[in-house]
Chain A
Amino acid sequence: MNELVNSFMTGPDEKGRFGDFGGRFVSETLMPLILELEEQYEHAKTDQSFWDEMDFLWKHYVGRPSPLYFAERLTERLGGAKVYMKRDELNHTGAHKINNVLGQIILARRMGKSRIIAETGAGQHGVATATVCAKFGLKCVVYMGAHDVERQQPNVFRMKLLGAEVVPVTSGRGTLKDAMNDALRDWVTNVRDTFYCIGTVAGPHPYPAMVRDFQSIIGKEVREQMHEAEGRLPDTIIAAIGGGSNAMGLFYPFLDDKEVAIIGVEAGGKGVNAKMEHCASLTGGRPGVLHGNRTYLLQDDDGQILEGFSISAGLDYPGIGPEHSWLHDVGRAQYVSITDKEALEAFQLCCETEGIIPALEPSHALAHVTKIAPDLPEDHIICMNMCGRGDKDIFTVAKALGRDIS
Chain B
Amino acid sequence: MTRIDAKFSALKDDGKKAFVAYIMAGDPSVETSLELMKGLPGAGVDVIELGLPFTDPMADGPTIQEAGQRALAGGMTLDKTLDMVREFRKDDAETPIVLMGYYNPIYSRGVSRFLNEAKEAGIDGLIIVDLPPEEDDELCIPAQKAGLNFIRLATPTTDDKRLPKVLENTSGFVYYVSITGITGAAAAEAQEVAPEVKRIKSQTDLPVIVGFGIRTPESAESIAGIADGCVVGSAIVGELASGRKVEDVLAFVKTLSDGAHRA
Contacts and interface: CB of A to CB of B under 8 A. Distances in A.
Interface stretch (B55-63, B198-206, B221-229, B249-257): B55-63
Contacts of A172: 55-56, 65, 69
A288 B177 CA distance: 26
Interface stretch (B31-39, B102-110, B142-150, B238-246): B102-110
A189 B134 contact: no
Interface string A21-33: 0011111111111
A177 interface: yes
Contact of B129 (A23, A27, A178, A305): A27
A82 B162 CA distance: 55
A304 B59 contact: no
B116 interface: no
B166 interface: yes
B59 A185 contact: yes
B100 interface: no
A288 B132 contact: no
B153 interface: yes
A169 to B, nearest CB: 11
B58 A27 contact: yes
Contacts of A299: 104, 108
Contacts of B134: 15, 23-24, 31
B56 A177 contact: yes
Contacts of A181: 56-58
A26 B132 contact: yes
A28 B108 contact: no
A184 interface: yes
A202 interface: no
Contacts of B135: 23-25
Interface in A293-321: 294, 297, 299, 301-305
Contacts of B166: 28
A27 to B, nearest CB: 5
B106 A303 contact: yes
A290 B105 CA distance: 10
Contact of A302 (B105, B153, B180): B105
A27 B185 contact: no
A188 interface: yes
Interface in B150-180: 152-159, 162, 166, 177, 180
Chain A interface size range: 35 or more
Contacts of B107: 288-289, 294, 303
Contacts of B157: 28-33, 191
B188 interface: no
A189 B106 contact: no
Contacts of A26: 130, 132
Contact of A188 (B55, B78, B181): B181
26 contacts: A24-B132, A25-B103, A25-B131, A25-B132, A28-B152, A28-B155, A29-B59, A29-B180, A29-B181, A31-B158, A171-B62, A172-B55, A172-B56, A178-B56, A184-B58, A185-B182, A189-B182, A191-B180, A288-B107, A290-B104, A292-B130, A302-B108, A303-B78, A303-B109, A304-B105, A305-B56
Interface of B: 54-59, 61-62, 65, 69, 72, 77-79, 102-109, 129-135, 152-159, 162, 166, 177, 180-182, 185
> Lowest 7 A-B CB distances belong to which pairs?
A303-B108, A303-B105, A189-B181, A29-B155, A303-B104, A305-B55, A31-B132
Given A28-B166, A190-B180, 8 more contacts: A23-B134, A29-B153, A29-B157, A30-B157, A31-B132, A185-B59, A188-B59, A302-B79
